[in-house]
């Protein structure tokens, strides 16, 4: 009863501030704070200021996997689970996958846990992201997209999956305030039309994948159409467009010819 009385004002404060799932958020904070009131109070202040919940608790859930997310590292989105599921479907057990721009390593963790006998390699340009992914048990290398991957593995991958920054630079100002304020720009800014890293990921995938290997990219808007000529030039055929429950484009699957 005491705990309930204490939780109620916390829930109300979050609800009044517009947080949609205040009950769940308070529950997660309580659990991670081990009931320490001072920690909880500090986290509440930071949360009400818009800081991502996983940066406070240090944890999030991605496709049923518990993933550590350090402060300053991009928080994996549940929308990305669609892309992760498709990557898992295409990865044979005992196969080889590469997660370009892995962030916390959430996708690599999901792939590795779903395909225990597979090897999953990941990369990220950001040192903090690499450290975080490593804490999640991911084999990660720091550098630009596919460049840190050993040359001996070129042409050997069954699956390349990538959630690169793909927000067009001129759209960054329209992202939710808290995203703009807290999440690292290096994780979001996709340059002109959001295509800069998507294009480079396609070219790296052409280097890394075996014939008939699969490339899965997260993207949005009409970026699938814009990417078509690049895919064709790099030797890919578009295999599928990944739509969410609302019919919005969330990604593409392409096959290396």
Ligand X SMILES: C[S@@+](CC[C@H](N)C(=O)[O-])C[C@H]1O[C@@H](n2cnc3c(N)ncnc32)[C@H](O)[C@@H]1O
Residues in touch with ligand X (CB under 6 A): 74, 76, 80, 101-104, 106-107, 123-126, 129, 144-145, 163-165, 186-187, 197
Q: How far is the CB of 152 from ligand X (least distance, A)?
A: 20
Q: 14 vs 161, which CB is nearer to ligand X?
A: 161
SS3 249: strand
Residue closer to ligand X (CB basis): 80 or 255: 80
CB of 60 to ligand X, least distance (A): 9
Contacts 24+ apart (CB under 8 A), 239-242: 239/214, 240/86, 242/82, 242/83, 242/86, 242/216
Polymer length in residues for the chain: 257
Residue closer to ligand X, measured from CB, 10 or 52? 52
Q: Which residue is nearest to ligand X (CB)?
A: 103
Instruction: Please report how close the Cβ of residue 104 comes to ligand X at its closest, in angstroms.
Output: 6
Please say which residue, 57 or 104, places its beta carbon nearer to ligand X.
104
Residue in the block written with tokens 């549940």? 78
CB of 164 to ligand X, least distance (A): 6
Distance between CA atoms of 125 and 111, rounded to whole angstroms? 20
How far, in Å, CA of 257 to CA of 253, rounded? Answer: 13
Percentages of the chain per state (helix, strand, coil), in multiples of 5 = 45, 20, 30
Q: Which two tokens stand for residue 127?
A: 């040192």
107, containing H or E segment: helix 106-114
Instruction: Return d(Cα 231, Cα 110) in angstroms, integer.
Output: 26
- Of 36 and 170, CB closest to ligand X: 170
Helix (H) or strand (E) holding 202: helix 196-208
| CB 33 to ligand X: min, Å | 24
134 and 146 in contact (C-beta within 8 Å)? no
Tell me whether residue 52 or residue 165 sits nearer to ligand X (CB atom): 165
Cα–Cα dist 99/62, whole Å: 15
Q: How far is the CB of 203 from ligand X (least distance, A)?
A: 12
């Amino acid at each position: 009863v005491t705990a309930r009385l204490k939780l109620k004002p916390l829930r109300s404060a979050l609800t009044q501030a517009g947080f949609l799932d205040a009950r769940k958020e308070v529950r997660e904070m309580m659990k991670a704070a081990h009931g320490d009131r001072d920690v909880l109070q500090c986290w509440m202040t930071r949360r009400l200021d818009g800081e991502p919940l996983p940066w406070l608790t240090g944890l999030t859930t991605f496709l049923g996997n518990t993933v550590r997310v350090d402060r300053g590292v991009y928080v994996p989105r549940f929308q990305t689970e669609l892309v992760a599921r498709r990557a898992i479907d295409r990865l044979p057990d005992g196969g080889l996958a590469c997660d370009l721009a892995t962030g916390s390593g959430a996708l690599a963790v999901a792939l590795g846990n779903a395909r225990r006998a597979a090897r999953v390699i990941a990369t990220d340009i950001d040192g903090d992201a690499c450290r975080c992914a490593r804490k999640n048990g991911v084999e990660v290398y720091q550098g630009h997209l596919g460049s840190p991957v050993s040359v001996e593995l070129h042409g050997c991958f069954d699956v390349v999956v990538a959630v690169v920054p793909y927000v067009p630079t001129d759209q960054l100002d329209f992202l939710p305030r808290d995203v703009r304020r807290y999440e690292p720009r290096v994780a979001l800014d996709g340059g002109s039309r959001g295509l800069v890293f998507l294009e480079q990921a396609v070219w790296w995938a052409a280097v890394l994948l075996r014939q008939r290997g699969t490339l899965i990219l997260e993207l949005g808007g009409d970026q699938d159409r814009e990417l078509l000529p690049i895919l064709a030039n790099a030797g890919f055929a578009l295999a599928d467009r990944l739509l969410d429950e609302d019919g919005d484009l969330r990604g593409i699957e392409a096959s290396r010819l």
